[in-house]
Amino acid sequence: MNALNELKARFRAAVEKLTDQDPQPFLEMIRPAQDSRFGDYQVNMAMSLGNRLAKPARDVAEDLLAAASIDDFCSDAEIAGPGFINIVIDDKWLKQKLSAVLNDEKLDVNRNRRQATYVIDFSSPNVAKPMHVGHIRSTVIGDALARILRFVGHRVITDNHLGDWGTQFGMIIYGYKHFADDQAYRHDPIAELLRLYRLVREITDFHATVKRLPDAEQELDAAADEFKQLDRQARPDDKAAAKKWRRETARASERLAEIEQTVATMRAKIAAVQASPEKMERFGKHRDIGDQVLAETARLHAGDVENLKLWNEFLPACRREIQTVYQRLHVEFDHELGESYYHDRLSGVVKQLTAKQVARPSDGAICVFLDAFDTPMIVQKKDGAFLYSTTDLATIQYRHEQWRPDAILYVVDHRQHEHFSKLFAVARKWGFDQIDLRHISFGTILGNDGKPFQTRSGETVGLQGLLDEAVNRARQVVNALDDQNPDGPQLDDVARTQVAEMVGIGALKYADLSQNRTSDYKFSYDKMVNLKGNTATYLQYCYARVQGIYRRGGIGPENLTGTLESFTFEHNDERHLALKICQFGEAIDETLVDFKPNLLAQYLYELANAHASFFNSCPVLSSTGNLRQSRLLLCELTARTIKTGLSLLGIDVADRM
């Protein structure tokens, strides 16, 4: 057991002696100290507990210490201020823990926990379109969670719920039937299918925009009139009325500006097409393209022979394309069961929901009405078509039948919050109330302008291009590091290319995973490959620097597995590094509380910083005897922990950079 879990166990018993309240909220107030001047750990529960007991916090702190019985592994426990308890772990216990970490391939991470079965649903791109920047968060967060859960002993099943059955295939089928270039298709089917998809989308958007523009212009006129009326009003003399007037005028101004921008964008889109006689002629022949795309999709779902043939022809090429991205990211799935896999189940799902009176007819559709929501979940439209919600319910049913999961984690962006809230509520009403259904939501990747990250032309950034640019930036860093090597360059061109790929992909992943997943963050190529700061490149360099120590000292595996009298803490930086190494398991535990990989990333960054301080103050190769061996093993444990931690985030390391 790690020190934090041991402290929580001891203080649990102490809290239970003082109160009959649930001790868990109080135990969460035991944390590693942020400043080593205040010990190794801090217990901050005395104030909160004192309020509940109507007793001075310092008295409560004394009672807690007396009842916790921590003297066998803590060398000092001091009550400070109004009732903070500062704790120092005994060096003997710390050295024993280091030895346990050293002799365990999994670094003595606690695996004595109830093993559960997790299904993780992540990435889930539409296979008819290239993967873009919006897919990176789901992909790397889901992969990291799968790796971490497996590491601690859980059974994990990863499932890439591909979008392989939706309207995007109706668009491609329509495009193929009307606009295909047979020679281009034979030469490069993926490029041609992508061209067709973009063309159909452009025509569809154009006609939809033309249709919506009059209503948008009417809305603009109304917003302009509202603002003018408010702006022309005399400012009220009454202070409260004046404040209300200013607020309403500002709100009307903002709304007017938003609608003006929307209308301007719509007019520009229409004008761009009208400026091209060729486009106008082509687009004019397909005025009902939106309805036709839906009709092609419906025919596919109904089993139309021609459309099914085309779908079966297009799908393998589309899947090969996205697989190249996963290969570069080193992401694998146990299953890739797309929407099409569940199509035959959908009518049965609706029948079961209706039979159990979970769903009922409403205006010709079949709906589930939920008390917590203003609108129902529709599971079958009045025209008989099914929806994503129906497929998601069928997927839960299938996963329960096949894998009996304790939990299903959906790694999907925050905009789908309402959908998953409804989905989980319906699933529980249907009978799947024993599965822990979780929406692992995440924020948006932003550009420097604070808006969703896009190319200069306003297009969504393709994921392959994003990876290429990350690797190009990494190559510059790798070249500079190798060129600056005191002994001359160590890497040939092939090796530099391989290391650059590793560093670039790792930098991209870590730039995402080091952020709180629930927050938006600004993307920066320069920051993510920086050798300073919280980046994968910095951590990878820390690992490579340890390997450099071994090379300079002629250190082989036999030198790192030899006898050691005892770890030595001659300098405080040695002890600080040792403590940080021993907190790896704590970081894993904390990461899994709310499934936030950034907590593991933050730990690894702190570990690398601790090693940098150790490296600067504690000579390794020039030391002798037991001290030299102790410091070598601290380096070894640092490198192993960083390598293991980064691997749990899906990131590789290299011996040379």
What does the mean pLDDT of the chain come to?
Answer: 93
Residue 32 dihedral angles phi and psi, to the nearest 5°: -60, 140
Out of 197-201, 397-401, 438-442, least confident range: 197-201
171-190 pLDDT, tens digit per residue, is 999 999 999 999 999 999 98
Q: Are the CB atoms for 91 and 75 separated by under 8 Å?
A: yes
DSSP annotation of 113 reads S
Q: Which residue has the tokens 């799902």?
A: 349
Question: What pLDDT shows up at residue 529?
Answer: 86
Average pLDDT over residues 68-72: 92
pLDDT at 317 over 70: yes
Average pLDDT over residues 423-447: 96
Question: What pLDDT shows up at residue 459?
Answer: 64
Three-state secondary structure of 545-583: HHHHHHHHHCCCHHHHCCCCCCCCCCCHHHHHHHHHHHC
Question: What pLDDT shows up at residue 467?
Answer: 93
CA-wise closest residue to 426 among 391, 456, 451: 391
What 3-state class would DSSP assign to 296?
A: helix
Question: What pLDDT shows up at residue 577?
Answer: 97
The angle, 0 to 180 degrees and rounded to 10, between the axes of the packed helices 3-18 and 46-53 is 10
Average pLDDT over residues 377-396: 94
DSSP annotation of 73 reads T
Average pLDDT over residues 273-295: 95
Average pLDDT over residues 47-63: 92
Average pLDDT over residues 264-281: 95
pLDDT at 563 over 80: no
Average pLDDT over residues 441-466: 80
- Read off the pLDDT band of 449 (50, 70, 90): confident
- Read off the pLDDT band of 562 (50, 70, 90): low
Tokens coding 584:
């790896």
Residue 460 dihedral angles phi and psi, to the nearest 5°: -65, 135
Three-state secondary structure of 177-224: HHHCCHHHHHHCHHHHHHHHHHHHHHHHHHHHHHHHHHHHHHHHHHHH
Question: What pLDDT shows up at residue 456?
Answer: 55
Long-range contact set of residues 179-183: C-beta below 8 Å, sequence gap at least 24: none
Residue 75 region by backbone torsions, left for phi larger than 0, else alpha for psi between -120 and 50, else beta: alpha
Rounded distance, CA 603 to CA 156, Å? 24
DSSP annotation of 85 reads E
pLDDT at 110 over 80: no
54-64: burial string, b at 16+ Cβ within 10 Å, e else: eeebbebbebb
498-523 pLDDT, tens digit per residue, is 999 999 999 999 999 999 999 999 98
Residue 519 region by backbone torsions, left for phi larger than 0, else alpha for psi between -120 and 50, else beta: beta
Question: What pLDDT shows up at residue 388?
Answer: 93
303 Cβ partners below 8 Å, 6+ apart? none
123-132 pLDDT, tens digit per residue, is 999 998 888 8
Question: What pLDDT shows up at residue 166?
Answer: 87
Three-state secondary structure of 610-631: HHHHHHHHCCCCCCCHHHHHHH
- Read off the pLDDT band of 16 (50, 70, 90): very high
Rounded distance, CA 388 to CA 273, Å? 33
pLDDT at 330 over 70: yes
Question: What pLDDT shows up at residue 235?
Answer: 78
